[in-house]
Structure 1
Amino acid sequence: MPGLGTLINTAAVIAGSLVGLLIHSKLPPRIIAITFQGIGLFTMFIGFFMAQRTQNPLVMILSIVLGAILGEGIDLAKYLERFSAFLKTKIHSSNERFSEGLITAFLLFCMGSMTIMGAIEEGMGQPPKLFLAKSVLDGFSSIALSTTFGVGVLCSALPLFIYQGALTLLFAGVLHNLPAAIIGEISAVGGLLLIGLGLTILEIKAVKILNMLPALVFAGIFAYFLL
């Protein structure tokens, strides 16, 4: 059972998304458009901030290349898109950007170092201070995202709950002694993925971020042997 921090974080995303959906119809298109651009810039800023903290660029390049090859071979994006289409059908949504909103929100909420560190903190039975702080950030972000993408952001609360809860349980049972250096490299590669997400949001270049997610696993493996 995921801890209190994950539950609060999920509730914050739901609440923020509902607020965004309520005010969406009252905002002119030009305000929504510039909000969208602001989200893209902020995502890239967070990505650069995280990525530059790597201690070994070799870990990053090996992880992102091999992760992309594996993810593309499996085609992870296809499975999350199917899940998104399933949710869209179940709630009878006609929003054309439903899948884009769900995937963008999920990646933005789950790629940060606060997700990993918060899962460790809560998995070790400590008060979920990081998840509480993350809840505030995600709550406000979900307001901005849902004004642009719509109800897909609200539905991202479900994969967020599953991913973050599973990560917390994993750290509680297996990975509670994971060295800080390994966590740092995983977070740095996550930052690189966020840069790609920012490029996609800004419509500069569509980067297949979902198919690069195995890079996070490779980052942990290479960091273990190379650091």
Structure 2
Amino acid sequence: MPGLGTLVNVIAIVVGSGLGLALGGRLPERTRTVVTDALGLVVLLIAALNTAEVLSADLAAAVGGAAPTLIVLGSLLLGGIVGSLLRIEQRLEQLGRTLRAVLTRRSAAAVAASPGSGTAEGGAASASERFVEGFVSSSLVFLVGPLAILGALSDGLGNGIDQLALKAALDGFASIAFAAALGPGVLASVLAVLVYQGAFTLLGVALGSVLPDAHIAALTATGGLLLVGVALRLLRIREDLPVADLLPALLVAPLLTALVAAF
């Protein structure tokens, strides 16, 4: 059922936030690191399963036996060039910083304009800013990343919720730490997750209804290699790997498949 992955993701954030509010900052750093490493290894497994779609019989029948690998390679190269020229990774990071600054400033201004004593006003401003910081910071972590897009598209395409289930585990664990440090604002981030990932799930449903199986296989295999990049970041092997700059490859893959199949 399309959307199930996002629903699981939302439930994980709600449960994690509740645990974080209850536990405070008692979770050891070493435990967080071990769990992140384990999830990184699972991402590699899912990446391998998705990348195996390069061997799809439908894709081979459409473009020839040797072409599927070249299509994935061409998609990553062309997509990477477009993404780096557009500076997608850098722009996403800048968007996060801008949102945090704007929302925090507006929250502080709104509280400052409200009536009340100085002490009460200062306490309200602090609580409001903390709520906004919790909402913005957690939302950015949950949404600004390739796994949110890849997982939601995969769910909509009917390829299962494996990627979003994995993201749910990551987000659930991260929400514990966020809620412990920043309070209930983290819970509000589930609304952003619903809207953002829901939109990409609907896009996947639309693509799945118009794209042939060969095109979907090329897109899935290309997305699998992007997941390898996600895993390398989680495992701290290449934390500076700009996976977001490679996201245009997901658009290039079906286009290249159609072009090669036409000849």
User: Could you say what secondary structure the match of 1:88 adopts?
Assistant: helix
Q: CA deviation at 1:10?
A: 5.8
1:74-85 matches, within 5 Å, as 74-85=86-97
How far did residue 211 of structure 1 move? 0.7
Identity %: 23
- TM-superposed deviation, 1:29: 1.6
Partner residue of 1:203 out of 236, 250, 263: 236
1:88-99 correspondence to structure 2 within 5 Å: 88-89=100-101, 90=103, 92-93=132-133
Q: CA RMSD in A?
A: 3.7
Matching of residue 224 in structure 1 with residue 258 in structure 2: yes
Q: Secondary structure at the match of 1:52?
A: helix
Greater percentage in helix? 2
Q: Does 1:119 align with 2:156?
A: yes
1:177 positional shift: 2.3
Equivalent position of 1:182 in the other structure: 215
Q: 1:132-147 alignment to 2 at 5 Å?
A: 138-147=167-176
8 Å contact 1:17–1:143 — kept in the other structure? yes
| Cα distance change on mapping 1:110 and 1:24 into 2, 3 Å | farther
Please give the alpha-carbon distance, in whole angstroms, between the structure 2 residues aligned to 1:153 and 1:64.
35
**Are residues 166 and 203 of structure 1, via their aligned partners in 2, closer, same or farther at CA, if it must alter by over 3 Å?**
closer
TM-score, normalization: structure 2? 0.64
My pick for the range that moved more, 35-44 or 207-216, is 35-44
Aligned to 1:126: none
1:30-53 CA-partner distances (Å, limit 9, x unpaired): 111111211222222211221122
Structure 1: distance between partners of 2:191 and 2:12: 6
> How far 1:66 sits from its partner (Å)?
0.6
2:249 matched residue in structure 1: 215
Distance change (3 Å), C-alpha of 1:182 and 1:217: same
- Could you tell me which runs of 5 or more consecutive residues in structure 1 were left unpaired when the two chains were aligned: 122-128
Aligned pair in 2 of structure 1 residues 141, 72: CA closer, same or farther (>3 Å)? same
Q: C-alpha distance in 2, partners of 1:9/1:177?
A: 27
Q: Which residue of 1 aligns with 2:127?
A: none
SS in 2 for 1:53: helix
- Asked if 2 retains the 8 angstrom alpha-carbon contact of 1:108 and 1:194, the reply is yes
Structure whose CA Rg is larger: 2
| Structure 1 residue 71 corresponds to structure 2 residue 108 | no
CA distance change for structure 1 residues 215 and 156 in 2, over 3 Å: closer, same or farther? farther
The amino acid that maps onto 1:119 is G
Per the TM alignment, residue 164 of structure 1 is displaced from its structure 2 partner at its CA by 3.6
> Residue type of the partner of 1:212?
L
Compute the displacement of 1:157 (Å): 6.3
Note if 1:194 corresponds to 2:227. Answer: yes
1:186, distance to aligned residue in structure 2 (A): 0.8
Deviation at 1:195, TM superposition (A): 0.4
- What do the CA deviations read for 1:13-42 (whole angstroms, capped 9, x no partner)? 532442463457221121111112112222
Paired residues for 1:20-35 under 5 Å = 21-22=20-21, 23=23, 25-35=25-35
- Equivalent position amino acid for 1:64 in 2: L
Structure 1 residues 82 and 185 mapped into 2: Cα distance closer, same or farther (>3 Å)? same
What is the aligned residue count? 212
Q: Structure 2: which 5+ residue stretches go unaligned?
A: 56-67, 104-130
